[in-house]
Amino acid sequence: MIVASFNINGVRARLPRLLEWLQDRKPDVALLQELKCQDQAFPAEQFEDLGYNIATNGQKSFNGVAILSKYPLEDLNPVLDGDSGDTQARWLEAVVGGTRPVRVCCLYLPNGNPVPSPKYDYKLAWMERLHSKMSDLLALEEPAVVAGDYNVIPQPEDAAKPERWKNDALYLPETRAAWRRLLNMGYTDAFRAVHPTARSFTFWDYQRRAWQRDDGIRIDHMLLTPQCADMLKDCQIDRNVRAQEKPSDHVPIWVELNT
DNA sequence: ATGCCCTATGCTATAGGA
């Protein structure tokens, strides 16, 4: 089973690229972030024609996440607990049916810039809520994938120019410490498990010719529970997608699981 | 230090992204 994550930066603007990539990579499950549209504006039919079941948690203009799955979607949950006043669409969770069910969680973690600001406070609070959720998931002792745009650069080797990010919300010590607390519970960073030392990125800014200069960062991640890590066969980043016409500024990352 | 570029919005300027 292939489970992929892709921050598409506008599902309507990206539709041709996204459909091409789905037909090429053929993921069984695709977790999408930054839809930038409401549920009723989501182009569902185009994905249904490719054989996908669809769940969305949309929002006007910003945020928005979706799950596409060739298997039935069960136990849908669009809420990350811990802040009943949070209206931002950044979480969607489902159980993917099949021979061996896998829980998939699609997340779009807040950017947090500038620092300091209420936006950075929101980011850190969101990561604390995520920690609580992921702790609950561990207790289930089931295969689960918690994936998406984390907006976290974990280590210096995850940026082409780490010094430039020194004071950025994606790389500040407090951000990275919150990331390590997630891993230290017992989650596996799928990409690092397969590629311990690779310098690979998932995001290149549209500005400053960042792609042409390979000035990227690795901020899209797939974390696996121990039961899911046991099933891990491969993890890759579809870097070539960034070179196409009208690309997202992020590229897909995917895991192959033995099911 | 700022903007560069891109998407979306009651749209020809502004907000948000990272």
The tens digit of pLDDT for each residue in A191-214 reads 999 999 999 999 999 999 999 999
Res A231 pLDDT > 90: yes
pLDDT, tens only, A52-68:
999 999 999 999 999 99
Mean pLDDT of chain A: 96
Res A81 pLDDT > 90: yes
CA of A40 to C1' of B4 (A): 34
Position A147 scores a pLDDT of 98
- Dist CA A253 CA A193 (whole Å): 14
**CB distance A191 to A200 below 8 Å:** yes
> From its phi and psi, is residue A65 left (phi > 0), alpha (psi between -120 and 50) or beta?
beta
Q: What's the whole-number mean pLDDT along residues A41-48?
A: 96
**Phi, psi at A177, each rounded to 5°:** -65, -40
Q: Residue A168's pLDDT band (boundaries 50, 70, 90)?
A: very high
DSSP state of A27: -
Q: What's the whole-number mean pLDDT along residues A6-30?
A: 97
DSSP state of A217: E
Position A99 scores a pLDDT of 81
DSSP state of A11: T
Strand B close to A217 by CB, under 7 A: yes
Res A98 pLDDT > 90: no
- Dist CA A167 CA A113 (whole Å): 10
- Dist CA A126 CA A128 (whole Å): 5
Residue A224 tokens, joined = 């696996």
The pTM of the full predicted model, rounded to 2 decimals, is: 0.97
Q: Which of residues A98 and A154 earns the better pLDDT score?
A: A154
DSSP codes of every residue in A72-96? PEEEEE---SS-TT-----EEEEEE
Residue A226 tokens, joined = 């121990």
DSSP H/E element including A16: helix A15-25
Q: What length is written for chain A?
A: 259
CA of A90 to C1' of B3 (A): 29
Strand B close to A7 by CB, under 7 A: yes
Q: State yes or no: cis peptide before A162, omega within 30 of 0.
A: no
**Phi, psi at A162, each rounded to 5°:** -60, -30
Strand B close to A87 by CB, under 7 A: no
SS3 call for A146: strand
- Residues in A 15-44 whose C-beta is less than 7 A from nucleic strand B are 34, 36-37, 41
**CB distance A253 to A4 below 8 Å:** yes
- How far is the CA of A102 from the CAs of A97, A144, A145, A259, in angstroms? 7, 6, 7, 9
- Dist CA A106 CA A53 (whole Å): 15
Listed residue (A54, A53, A5) closest to A25, CA to CA = A5
- Dist CA A115 CA A169 (whole Å): 6
Residue A50 tokens, joined = 């490719």
Q: What's the whole-number mean pLDDT along residues A69-88?
A: 96
Residue A125 tokens, joined = 């609070």
Nucleotide nearest A15 (Cα, C1'):
B7
